[in-house]
Amino acid sequence: MNRIQAVILDWAGTTVDFGSFAPTQIFIEAFHRAFDIDITLEQARIPMGLGKWQHIEALGKLPEIDICWQNKFGRSMNNDDIDAIYATFMPLQIAKVVDFSAPISGVIQTIAALRTQEIKIGSCSGYPRAVMEKLVPAAARLGYSPDYWVASDDIPAGGRPGPWMALQNVIELSIDSVASCIKVDDAVPGIAEGLNAGMWSVGVVLSGNEFGKTWDEYQTMPHDAILELRQKAAAKLFAAGAHYVIDTLADLPQLIGVINDRLAKGERP
């Protein structure tokens, strides 16, 4: 009860795929292929962290996309439309996800450091199982392999922002207190997931969806531009309820010491 026993990590933007580009680019392509509707990268990022069917549903409710739908079809997006886009999205995502499976800089070293402290490594994702079955072994070949993973469609009750994927990790990893867990995520629904599960919720800024830059773009950005975008991304994650924000997962071990001190004083999330 007085120390962190497990961290439950998101995938794209948190442990792999710096900038979370695999899902966002595929949403753009799926909308175009299925209905010849063009959405922007910024729009595609807005519901990030939800299950992918729910992500498409949320995109259809954005006022600017709903207007496009009304103009083209004389109505709003319906479930048949969502199913059609999802059916287009899935094979594209399955084919492309391995190209975005490289662990983010510092992740492999961080996982090794956590394991020396006997901290278990859980994970969950907005990806469905069919995508995760391609991503997990690809990431393992490159050095990242959590102790457990669960996909958004594995849980009958649904995915984020509900607590169920995070709690499934607690069960499978045999953790005796949710207060001894940290949920780490780069998107708002994932922060809510951790809070709803009764865990410490930590947002990831620089490698994640809210910052939204590739590694190469980040490396060439002016310092002032980095600070401005970082502050904006951190503010959004704090507004969602994050207890802390970090730049990348490499900052997590130091933060665990801070949280352990709070647990030892009897504090809880």
Q: Which residues are catalytic?
A: 10, 52
- Interatomic CA distance for residues 265 and 76, integer angstroms: 52
Reduce the secondary structure of the chain to three states and give it as a string. CCCCCEEEECCECCCECCCCCHHHHHHHHHHHHHHCCCCCHHHHHCCCCCCHHHHHHHHHHCHHHHHHHHHHHCCCCCHHHHHHHHHHHHHHHHHHHHHHCCECCCHHHHHHHHHHCCCEEEEECCCCHHHHHHHHHHHHHCCCCCCCCECCCCCCCCCCCCCHHHHHHHHHCCCCCHHHEEEEECCHHHHHHHHHCCCEEEEECCCCCCCCCCHHHHHHCCHHHHHHHHHHHHHHHHHCCCCEEECCHHHHHHHHHHHHHHHHCCCCC
Question: What strand order describes the sheet that includes 120-123?
Answer: 120-123, 6-9, 181-185, 200-204, 244-246
Contacts of 83 (CB under 8 A, 6+ apart): none
